[in-house]
Copies of this chain bind each other. A is one copy, B any other.
């Protein structure tokens, strides 16, 4: 447990072990072709000196370094959806001996490019969470890329369309005919996920022969405060919806808030379905009926995919997880009490 801030280099270890730098390097990288004796001697020298490779130097000298590093680019860390996803990824990565370096998406273009350069040179692979179109192009094929919640060459996704369909159908089956939607879309970037969920919503209504008044589809932007504001508008419509399908749990919670503020009881006066099944969905008042994404598993799958890619092992290109409906207390037939399964 001695801490020598002085940097130990390959040369130091080599001197200590009485070999050349290259031999030490080869031992470190588990290269074959050297006597077991030498290998041991070097190992000991490494332990004694407390040597650790300098990833920067390694990155500089070899084009495709093995730094045990996976870079992650993600918006907003305090989005529960992201946190749970990354938790899964981190678990799997660590089990495989890989570090996760997480960067939040920079607004500043210079920062963005610096960060990309850093990852391109340093990381074994990159995990993109809900990336913008530009984020993709930055990496080209300089390093393996897996996309979580978006499109790309290698992706991990939930079946958003079916999820949207299931949520809406659940409301229809309960007897609702006026079903609104808080879409995930915002103006800047048309997110694929949001579009698919909305398509599922439309399809379910269409299959049931129900109309979709334009005013019933609002942009919730995946955000709690926006959803709250928009829900107020919906509920004060001349003919307000009796049920809302929110594109994610956060906006469902916003809707919950708006309902409470306007004195509408959930689910008696208004049914609400979310999407994601984040941790918080189970403890809201009332507990949220929602479409479950297996977030942790999805994160794990993404990490696994990336690990295979970095090792040039064969893998699937696209992993799609099923969306399942979790019925809790926020949905009921219009004008009635909740019917909950235990």
Q: A59: which of B56, B101, B115, B137 is its contact (CB, 8 Å)? A: B56
- Cβ A101 vs Cβ B101 within 8 A: yes
Closest partner residue, chain B, to A296 (CB atom): B78
Q: How many Å lie between the Cα of A179 and that of B69 in the bound state?
A: 47
Name the distance in Å between A196's Cβ and chain B's nearest Cβ.
Answer: 25
Q: A122-B56, A285-B285 are in contact. Are A103 and B114 (CB under 8 A)?
A: no
The residues of B that contact A208 with a CB separation of less than 8 Å are none
The residues of B that contact A76 with a CB separation of less than 8 Å are 87
- Cβ B77 vs Cβ A102 within 8 A: yes
- Cβ A113 vs Cβ B52 within 8 A: yes
- Cβ A94 vs Cβ B114 within 8 A: no
The reply to whether the CB of A206 lies closer than 8 angstroms to some CB of chain B is no
The residues of B that contact A101 with a CB separation of less than 8 Å are 101-103
Q: How many Å lie between the Cα of A285 and that of B287 in the bound state?
A: 8
Q: A87-B76, A256-B283, A286-B285 are in contact. Are A111 and B99 (CB under 8 A)?
A: yes
Q: Which residues of A contact B (CB under 8 A)?
A: 1, 3, 5, 52-57, 59-60, 67-69, 76-78, 80, 83-84, 86-87, 90, 94, 97-104, 106-108, 110-111, 113-118, 121-122, 137-142, 253, 256-257, 279-280, 283-287
